[in-house]
Amino acid sequence: MAGHFRRKIASKLFQSFSQSGLLPKSQETNSIEKLASLVKVKKISKHHTLESGQFLVNSQHLNNFLKDDSDPNHKLAEQVKDCLFQDTSFKELGITFNGKFFNFTFDPTNITEVILSSVYKEGSKYGFTSHLHQTNDQTEKQTVVIEYSSPNIAKPFHVGHLRSTIIGNFFSNLYEQLGYNVIRLNYLGDWGTQFGLLAAGYHQYGCETKLLADPLHHLFEVYVKVNKDAAQEIDTKRVEEPQSLYNRSREIFQKMEKGEETSLDLWKRFRDLSIKEYQKIYKRLGISFTEIHSESMYSESANQLLQHLRHTGLLQINEEEGRTEFIEIPDRNRNSKVTMCKSDGTTLYLTRDVAAALHRKKEYNFNKIHYVVDNRQNRHFQNLQAVLKTIGEDWATSLESDFHIGFGRIIGMNTRKGKVIFLKDLLDEAQQQMLSKRKETSSSKHVADEMAVADTLGISSILVQDLKERRNFDYTFSWKKCLNFKADSGVFLQYAHARLCSLKQNCAIPLTHSVDAALLKDPAALRLVLHISRYDEVILNSFLSFEPFHVVQYLFQLAHLSNQSLHSLVVKGQVQDVAQARLLLFHSAQQILSSGLRLIGVQPLQSM
Ligand code: ARG
């Protein structure tokens, strides 16, 4: 793997710096590892031609690494350059400097040989085992809790939940591949006054047959109607009447919080039926969870927490707001009062989240926790973090900004049925669109299970469109882009992957890793090899910046490069040695494409 070359450069740098006295005391331990992480493979554009394998080190990064705090005025840049250029062993590596980067050049045959045989041997582990990922020397497996998806029962699964599901699944896969113990958690919204309202609405508008046939749509129908009624009540100032919807639903929810069986029965049915529907969709998306928790699980512990906080004096009464209770956040000037209990004594979304966080810490004793939730809840998660600290949870002080992994909105995601997204409708539509597009496209093969292939393609397209930009950006959903077979879409990646698989199946050449790498001298081959060797860097970038798009953009380029090479580097009909070398190259590209697709949550297709 590229690690081999990074390490080689890093140990030479280390030797050179130690001998010339440039290495400060503070950098003596793990230096080679740290230096290796500064070595990058030269990124190549689609049309760039390279004669040899090139690795770069940013000189500013080197200076930062060598900076000696006891001697701040030290003029490092020149010295580093002198040191490296005087060291004759670097001449062998081929070193140049362009004012910003040190550039190390390797013999392409050597690189090709090392990289292709590592991909062959490491298979699906390639890219994840690199020393680049061993950021610390912990020997014990670290645990990370990732909460994602978390839809609400009885309100539609909106695009925020879709993005949370896709992004959360990506990070769970990534952490798992990097050797963490990952708790994938789904936290259903199944509690709160709105459930009182829904129950009241169901008494009026509910229909058993419809509920059983299609629970999500029917509950939503009731939800819309009853919310309309509630809004009318406000307009006509009937809210205060004892039998108003508002009062009835509050009463129902209060009873639910007290655990009254009859009020809970209906809620339980809504909940069970909705969960069953969600499970079907998760299965279709290939997404699973370690645990399904829900807000209602924390109704009791949230009440106990409030009791405890009253005892310790942390909870204060806000006389102005009808006796709600709040916690004061000490280090805030504005918005320092965070409400924890409503005036009628019921808990809030935040209260339940605090109780849930305490439970998670106790249950999993995690090293890290992430909440993958839409940016609209930024404030909520700032409050959650602040309350945890204020009530004396020490672990919460070390939480970083990645506690909440937010993301932007999707604009214009509609299905033919309307503006409100039911995930099932969206997936059905994607599948239908793929079916008809495939009929029009001559290159599509006829496959046995056309429906299943169309479904996978539809899902791939939605996933890729979602992950291909920075997560904080809003993006406009476009069927046209989703369905683009030629560039930068999920179908495009699947198509490139299937082409590679079909080459492997049909070339009638046995795959072996002992090939003559000197036969892969063509610039197209070298470009592909070098791109493959960047995989571990890209994974690390995604991991450190919490940005899936690095991986997706990398895969687009991999697909372009491999499509180009498939044109110029024919396998069939070549002399055996050449054919085998090329086949190993394409096998590696297919392995990485497949690994990257699985990482982003897409099931790679063998043929399409
Ligand atoms: N169910 C919530 C919603 O749809 C999202 C839950 C986010 N997670 C949390 N721990 N608060 O708005």
Token readout for 441 is 């496209």
Q: Among this protein's residues, is 155 annotated catalytic?
A: yes
Structure-token match 């600290």, residue found = 389
Atom 6 of ligand 1, residue of closest alpha carbon: 150
Ligand 1 pocket test: pick from 147, 148, 149, 150 the residue with the most ligand atoms within 8 Å of its Cβ: 150
Q: Is residue 562 within 8 Å of residue 496, measured between CB atoms?
A: yes
Q: Among this protein's residues, is 158 annotated catalytic?
A: yes
Provide the pLDDT for residue 217: 87
User: Which residues line the pocket of ligand 1, CB cutoff 6 A?
Assistant: 147, 150, 152, 187, 189, 353, 371, 373
For 224-240, the DSSP string reads: HHHHHHHHHHHHTT-TT
Instruction: For residue 296, report the distance from its CA to the centre of ligand 1, in Å.
Output: 12
Q: Domains of the chain by range and CATH?
A: 2-106 (3.30.1360), 144-404 (3.40.50.620), 423-600 (1.10.730.10)
The one catalytic residue in 12, 155, 437, 587 is 155
Closest of 569, 557, 563 to residue 596, by C-alpha: 557
Which ipTM did the prediction report? 0.99
Residue 329: pLDDT band (50, 70, 90) is very high
C-alpha span between 440 and 490 (Å, rounded): 18
Rama region for 67: left / alpha / beta (φ>0; ψ in -120 to 50; rest): beta
Give the dihedral sign, CA 279/353/426/435: negative
DSSP letter assigned to residue 262: H
- Cβ atoms < 10 Å from Cβ of 509: 17
Q: Which atom of ligand 1 is nearest to the CA of 160?
A: 4
Q: Is residue 322 within 8 Å of residue 355, measured between CB atoms?
A: no
Q: Among this protein's residues, is 48 annotated catalytic?
A: no
Q: Which atom of ligand 1 is nearest to the CA of 356?
A: 10
Q: What is the mean pLDDT of the chain?
A: 90
Instruction: For residue 28, report the distance from its CA to the centre of ligand 1, in Å.
Output: 46
Kind plus residue range of the DSSP H or E element containing 173:
helix 159-177
Task: Please give the C-alpha separations between residue 329 and each of 334, 345, 399, in angstroms, as whole numbers.
Answer: 10, 21, 17
The one catalytic residue in 42, 161, 218, 389 is 161
Q: Which atom of ligand 1 is nearest to the CA of 158?
A: 4
Provide the pLDDT for residue 1: 46
Q: Which atom of ligand 1 is nearest to the CA of 188?
A: 1
pLDDT digits (tens, 9 = 90+) for 130-161: 655 555 455 678 999 999 999 988 677 777 89
Provide the pLDDT for residue 136: 46
For 427-455, the DSSP string reads: HHHHHHHHHHHHHH-TTPPP-TTHHHHHH
pLDDT digits (tens, 9 = 90+) for 229-288: 999 999 998 888 889 998 999 899 999 988 999 989 999 999 998 899 899 999 999 999
For 550-607, the DSSP string reads: HHHHHHHHHHHHHHHHHHHS--TTS-HHHHHHHHHHHHHHHHHHHHHHHHTT-PPPS-
Instruction: For residue 370, report the distance from its CA to the centre of ligand 1, in Å.
Output: 12
Token readout for 97 is 């400097």
- For the ranges 40-44, 217-221, 569-573, 583-587, which has the lowest average pLDDT? 40-44
Instruction: For residue 30, report the distance from its CA to the centre of ligand 1, in Å.
Output: 41
C-alpha span between 368 and 181 (Å, rounded): 11
pLDDT digits (tens, 9 = 90+) for 554-607: 999 999 999 999 999 999 999 999 999 999 999 999 999 999 999 999 999 999
Instruction: For residue 151, report the distance from its CA to the centre of ligand 1, in Å.
Output: 7
